[in-house]
């Protein structure tokens, strides 16, 4: 009897999957890089499961090339590049890795907030360039987060954890979300629900934690930046395409936005060229969940989902619903 075949577009460096390999025929990319699309497509006709990252774009063409496919297991929380509708139509489970990366991503968002408002990376570059000759109390004045108004766009699991961390700095938290939170959760977070334009107008700091959807694509554009306070700080650890980067660059140059911290980018891995010339933007290479502990949890959950589906069971963290067959 043929063992199920699994395609892993990058071998896990974070998790020992020796047992997993003993159960299934695993075709894996290298630990240091992902398979090319061309290589992926050579394996699709024979596989029963694929473990992908969002850049692999499992679209309709991808799915049609894999007639035996039973599960698309996304190694990450976001799944906007997966054609979930067509996968469901074909009886294919789609899974992701929510919750296990909440704390780590929220930690990074707070890190970016502090780096931007305290001008940490500017000061670090100044020292490395050997420009620091003597202490000058007039250098690198930043802005205190304490007592300021923090606007959160997207109050899901990561947004809520970010709000808890922000409480440490005694920030006034306002938020806008597709659905308002319960009174109990709002009370615990000391968070006030406001309409979107109100959030733009009131926020001293604005942090994005919304998934990328048709509704949130370019949610922040020229008109939205014009509605913000002068000197606002913008943090994005969600998806790059929530912000139109050309509009953000204009706002950064004018001082409308005092600083930005970006872990995600509109056209990853390409960084908007004008940002590279600006001192008041912190640029990271999509590090949101990048700790060994969190990535190991993500890998373990991904593997668990594959095991469950290939044994005829419902996955632990499905994005869609598929009828189980006996």
Please identify every residue annotated as catalytic: 239, 268, 286
What count of Cα atoms within 13 Å lies in the side-chain half-sphere of residue 76? Answer: 18
Identify whether the C-beta of residue 318 lies closer than 8 Å to the C-beta of residue 94: yes
- Rounded CA-CA distance 188/105 in Å is 20
Q: Which residues face 283 on adjacent strands?
A: 262
What does the block give as tokens for 45?
Answer: 């006709």
Task: Give the torsion through C-alpha atoms of 154, 156, 161, 163, to 10 deg.
Answer: 40
Cα(137)–Cα(229) distance, integer angstroms: 27
Strand partners, 151: 174, 206
Closest by CA position to 20, among listed 315, 317, 307, 309 = 307
Gyration radius from the chain CA atoms: 22
Provide the 3-class DSSP secondary structure of residue 6: strand
Q: Report which secondary-structure segment, H or E, holds 207.
A: strand 205-208
One-character DSSP codes across 225-290: HHHSPTTEEEEE-S-GGGB-HHHHHHHHHHTSEEEEEESS-TBTTBPPGGGGG-TTEEE-SS-TT-
φ, ψ for residue 283, nearest 5 deg = -115, 125
């Amino acid at each position: 009897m043929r063992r199920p075949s699994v395609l892993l577009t990058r071998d896990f460096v974070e998790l020992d999957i020796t047992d997993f390999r003993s159960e299934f025929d695993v075709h894996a990319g290298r630990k240091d890089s992902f398979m090319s699309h061309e290589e992926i497509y050579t394996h699709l006709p024979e596989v029963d499961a694929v473990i992908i990252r969002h850049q692999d774009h499992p679209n309709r063409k991808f799915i049609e090339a894999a007639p035996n496919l039973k599960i698309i297991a996304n190694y990450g929380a976001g799944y906007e590049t997966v054609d979930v509708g067509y996968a469901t139509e074909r009886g294919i489970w789609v899974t992701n890795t929510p919750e296990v990366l909440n704390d780590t991503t929220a930690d990074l968002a707070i890190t970016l907030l502090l780096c931007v408002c305290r001008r940490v990376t500017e000061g670090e570059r100044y020292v490395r360039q050997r420009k620091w000759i003597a202490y000058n109390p007039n250098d690198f004045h930043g802005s205190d987060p304490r007592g300021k108004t923090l606007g959160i766009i997207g109050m899901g699991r990561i947004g809520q954890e970010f709000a808890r961390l922000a409480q440490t700095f005694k920030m006034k938290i306002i938020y806008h979300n597709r659905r308002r939170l319960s009174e109990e959760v709002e009370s615990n977070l000391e968070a006030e629900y406001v309409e979107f334009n109100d959030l733009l107008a009131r926020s001293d700091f604005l942090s994005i934690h919304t998934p990328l959807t048709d509704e949130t694509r370019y949610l922040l554009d020229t008109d939205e930046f014009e509605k913000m306070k002068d000197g606002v700080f913008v943090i994005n650890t969600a998806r790059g395409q929530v912000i139109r980067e050309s509009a953000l660059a204009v706002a950064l140059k004018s001082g409308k936005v005092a600083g930005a911290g970006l872990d995600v980018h509109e056209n990853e891995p390409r960084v908007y060229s004008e940002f590279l010339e600006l001192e008041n933007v912190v640029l990271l290479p999509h590090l949101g969940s990048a700790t060994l502990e969190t990535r190991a949890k993500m890998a373990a959950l991904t593997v668990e989902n594959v095991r469950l589906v290939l044994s005829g069971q419902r996955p632990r963290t499905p994005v869609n619903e598929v009828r189980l067959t006996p």
